[in-house]
A and B are shown apart, each in its own frame.
Chain A
Amino acid sequence: MAHAVLEEPKTVHMGLPLPNGKVAMWLFLVTEIMFFTGMIGTYIILRNGTPSWLYPWPTPHDVYLAEWMGAVNTFVLICSSLTVVLAHHALHKHNVKRATQLMALTLALGCVFLVIKGFEYQAKFSHGILPGRIFERLDGPDGPRFSNHVRDQLKEIVDEPEKHGADGNAVNAWKGFLGEVAALKTKSDAAKKEIEKELDAPKKAAEAEIDKLKDSKASAADKQSARDKVEEKLRQQYVAVEKKVESSEAKFAADIEAKRKDLKKANPSIAAVADSWAVQQKLPNLTPKKLNLEIVGTKKSNPHIKPCDRVPGYEVEEGLLEAHPDLHVSHAISFGNMWASCYFAMTGFHAIHVLGGLVVFVIILVIAARGRLGVQHERMLELTGLYWHFVDVVWIFLFPLLYLV
């Protein structure tokens, strides 16, 4: 019989056909989307706005960025995304033990991500890659600061050869070399004095002549032209002597250079120190841009020299960093500070978000450790998973934008 009773209406659910928690989490995630697209968008815009040829954006090599580390981190995060969704799945199937194991694995993978990131940051810090600390345009006030900074770095390398790869024998050989250089310098100074003595006689003669002119009866104009002739003759003698001094010093410098090359061949572990010493000797005569070229190298095949770094006509046989890529000597990096700001802002905020996720994982594991984890926490795990997947998606975009492109 048909009942006249109205069927109880199904319970009406106000609002969205979703649990409140899920709506809340998604609202939060879309605000995070805005947050990260703000930063990523700014990076894209700034990078596209740079003049790309003369002052190019740094390549990963310029800023000591290892793409493979980023790739490994991507893989680690993808694995952790899988484990967190499997944990939720397990808890849904009432398998609390499996869910706990998977959450612990997720936490471990998250920690691995942060550890690798720590290594990456350490590489940047040790090379001075920090916003505001990178030397960019050396033809302005940054130039002398750059020269001073490099001078200090070279001094540190040369004064402590043991810290830069040299073994015991090499250090002794190095000290011997420095002694020989000092002796050669004394000889070269003595030779210079000897040569300059040649000027004594012509100088006295010229002075005597000019004295005679004072007493002569010639006109003022004639006296002047005679004086000019005497001074011109003396000047040419000075020039000749200077050339002799130059060639004598060049010979000594060549001797020193030959000894240095022999030392490098005999003791390869001292090569970095020896090359740094060579640049150190050239320092007083180098402009900041030339010093930068000495460090970076100028070969056409060198992909890391930028058009803005070149000095027309200045070529270097081999740059310090070409021969010894791990040496801690600064060089100019065009747009380096902009790169560092973008990199640290984006990866730093991402790392903070990862840390936040790890805190929640720890809370869940503490609940599990107390034996309280159960099916009633399934929703919590799902929402945690949503957050963690979002963190993964952000990294999926950050990795190519910062490391690969």
Chain B
Amino acid sequence: MTEPQAATAPAEEHGHGPPVRIYLLVFGALCFCTAVSFVVNTTFPLHSPSALGIILGVAVIKAVLVGMFFMHLKYEWSKLYFLIVPVAILGVMMMIVLMPDIVVAWQGDRPSENEEPPIVAK
């Protein structure tokens, strides 16, 4: 590789990641999180908002664990955040921008829970 690193490569932690013990701990945490979300899904009632919150929160925790430890972001965040943060903002923004037209605009059409369904056809 023809990188101008020569003898004095800039201080790189890449390759000097965390010890194996940390990897195994994170793996255990990920398995635990997966089990938690699966159990919450089976025990809570269908479409419960708290189940939704727990499951999505657990998903975010898992993603952060994988990113920080397996992808070494914990050690390289200062060098990479400028790529990741704008993209994450854009990703979320895209959803927010579409919400008024696709979600909010149709909310008035929802019948309330107790209404009799209209007779659409026999």
- Which residues does A use to contact B, with CB under 8 Å? 10-14, 16-22, 26-27, 30, 33-34, 37-38, 41-42, 44-46, 48-54, 59, 67-68, 71, 74-75, 78-79, 81-82, 85-86, 88-89, 92, 137-139, 143, 287, 289-290, 303, 307-308, 310-312, 378-379, 382, 385-386, 389-390, 392-393, 396-397, 399-400, 403-405
Contacts and interface: CB of A to CB of B under 8 A. Distances in A.
Interface in B48-91: 51-52, 55-56, 58-59, 62-63, 66-67, 70-71, 76, 79-80, 83-84, 87-88, 90-91
Contact of B55 (A49, A78, A390, A400): A400
A37 B117 contact: no
Contacts of A308: 117, 120
A361 B16 CA distance: 22
Interface residues of B, number: 67
A37 B84 CA distance: 13
Contacts of B63: 393, 396-397
Contacts of B11: 17
A78 B34 contact: yes
A45 B99 contact: yes
A21 B5 CA distance: 13
Contacts of B27: 78-79, 81-82
A19 B9 CA distance: 10
Contact of A86 (B9, B20, B34, B76): B20
B86 to A, nearest CB: 8
Nearest to B118: A54
Given A37-B94, A74-B34, A139-B121, A26 B83 contact: yes
Contacts of A404: 37-38, 41, 55
24 contacts: A10-B8, A11-B5, A21-B1, A30-B84, A41-B95, A45-B98, A48-B102, A51-B106, A53-B110, A53-B113, A67-B42, A68-B38, A78-B34, A82-B70, A92-B17, A137-B120, A307-B117, A389-B67, A389-B71, A396-B62, A396-B66, A397-B59, A404-B55, A405-B51
Nearest to A27: B83
Given A139-B120, A308-B117, A312-B119, A78 B95 contact: no
Contacts of B55: 400, 404-405
A16 B5 CA distance: 12
B4 A289 contact: no
Contacts of A33: 84, 87-88, 91
Contacts of A290: 122
Interface string B1-25: 1011111111110111100100110
**Pairs A-B, 5 closest by C-beta atoms:** A139-B121, A37-B91, A41-B95, A30-B87, A404-B41
A49 B31 contact: no
B95 A45 contact: yes
Contacts of B14: 18-19, 22, 379, 382
B10 A81 contact: no
A92 to B, nearest CB: 5
Given A51-B106, A75-B34, A307-B117, A400 B56 contact: yes
Contacts of B12: 17-19
Nearest to A78: B30
B36 to A, nearest CB: 11
Contact of A51 (B87, B99, B109): B109
